[in-house]
Amino acid sequence: MDKNRPYLLPIVIITGILSLDIFTKYLIVMNFGFGDRIDFIGGFLRISLVYNEGGVFGILQGHKNLFLIISIVVLTLMVVYYVLERNKSALFSISMALIVSGALGNIIDRLVPGRPGVVDFISIGVDGVYRWPSFNVADSSIVVGAFLLIIVFYREERKRKIAGNE
Cβ–Cβ < 8 Å for 75, 100? yes
Q: Exactly one of 36, 39, 109, 120 is catalytic; name it.
A: 120
Q: Exactly one of 2, 21, 127, 139 is catalytic; name it.
A: 139
Q: Quick one: average pLDDT of 43-48?
A: 95
Q: Quick one: average pLDDT of 82-103?
A: 91
Domain segments of the chain as ranges: 8-160
What is the signed CA dihedral for 64, 69, 75, 79, rounded to 10 degrees?
Answer: 160
User: Which pLDDT value is given to residue 166?
Assistant: 61
Q: Quick one: average pLDDT of 89-113?
A: 93
pLDDT (tens digit, 9 = 90+) per residue, 54-85? 766 656 565 667 778 888 998 999 889 888 88
How many angstroms separate the CA atoms of 95 and 152, rounded? 9
139 is catalytic: yes
Query: Structure pTM?
Result: 0.86
Measured CA distances, 152 to 3, 146, 149 (Å): 19, 10, 5
2 is catalytic: no
Is a pLDDT exceeding 90 seen at residue 162?
A: no
